[in-house]
Amino acid sequence: MTKQIRLADGGLRIILPGTWASIPLSDEESTTAYVKRLVKRQVGTADRLARMRRSAVEEIVGTAREAVRAGVHTYLTALEILPNVPFAAVMMLLDIDWPDTAGPAREGGDTEEALTAAFPGAEIAELRYGPVARRWELANQQLGEDGSVIQTLRLEYFVPYPYEGSDKLLMVRVNVPEVPSAEPFAVLFNEIVDSISFPEELPEADGAAEPVSEPVATAGG
């Protein structure tokens, strides 16, 4: 079960497995209204859940606010990997400039070497549209007073835009909490990043995104 969605810049598309929500970032009023609908749908409307709903809304809106400040243009959050199988993950996409350290290799037309120079220590993978740099880590996070610890997988992908003369990279940040190990989830997100489709021409800066009519983007068959 997958669904191809159009990303916020109006040109990119990505294939996502399961059920995801695309949080609008155009303004905080729209973000808050959307998140309230999403949380109500996921958590439920019972009065006893009011505090949980309020806390969830505040957390997601706060994260969205920070994302906007960081230049994020697309904020995707996973809800289910399969029907009735919950899955928590967040993907954030933003455009960044190539670091200056990549200059000589880029001038020579060697994208793989440019990525190595730009992101020392990163893994270089060959995806269908060319080489991509990837960094990852498993971080331990202590929760609550009982001292329980969960593992969170953090991934960063640096994807060169496939346009002649482009000085931009698409950066994809992924957080997946409570993972038993890194490998299966790293493979999953490699496939997701590999599914990104670029338009034939660089989209206009004010390209319109697909309208969001429902709080949840659900994978179709």
Quick one: average pLDDT of 14-20?
91
DSSP the chain: -EEEEE-TTSS-EEEEESEEEEE--S-HHHHHHHHHHHHHHHH---GGGHHHHHHHHHHHHHHHHHHHHTTEEEEEEEEEEETTEEEEEEEEEEEEEPPGGGHHHHHTT-HHHHHHHHSTT-EEEEETTEEEEEEEEEEEEEETTTTEEEEEEEEEEEEE--STT--EEEEEEEEEES-S-SHHHHHHHHHHHHT-B--SSPPPTTPPPPP--SS-EEPB-
- pLDDT at residue 11, rounded to an integer: 78
> 164: number of CA atoms within 13 Å, CB side?
0
Q: Give Cβ neighbours of residue 205 (< 8 Å, ≥ 6 apart).
A: none
Chain segment 124-151, per-residue pLDDT in tens: 999 998 999 999 999 887 766 677 788 8
Quick one: average pLDDT of 77-91?
87
Residue 23 near residue 64, CB atoms below 8 Å: yes
pLDDT bracket for residue 221 (50, 70, 90)? very low
- pLDDT at residue 9, rounded to an integer: 55
- pLDDT at residue 151, rounded to an integer: 87
Chain segment 29-68, per-residue pLDDT in tens: 999 999 999 999 888 888 898 888 898 899 899 999 999 9
pLDDT bracket for residue 114 (50, 70, 90)? very high
Buried b (16+ CB within 10 A) or exposed e, 25-37: beeeeebbebbbe
DSSP 127-142: ETTEEEEEEEEEEEEE
In degrees, rounded to 5, the angle at the alpha carbon of residue 177 between the alpha carbons of residues 60 and 55 is: 30
Chain segment 161-217, per-residue pLDDT in tens: 988 888 999 999 999 988 888 889 999 999 999 999 988 766 554 443 443 334 444
pLDDT bracket for residue 85 (50, 70, 90)? confident
- pLDDT at residue 145, rounded to an integer: 67
- pLDDT at residue 200, rounded to an integer: 75
> 208: number of CA atoms within 13 Å, CB side?
3
- pLDDT at residue 122, rounded to an integer: 97
Please determine, for residue 77, whether its predicted confidence score (pLDDT) is greater than 80: yes
Domains of the chain with CATH codes: 2-218 (2.60.120.1690)
Quick one: average pLDDT of 14-32?
92
- pLDDT at residue 216, rounded to an integer: 47
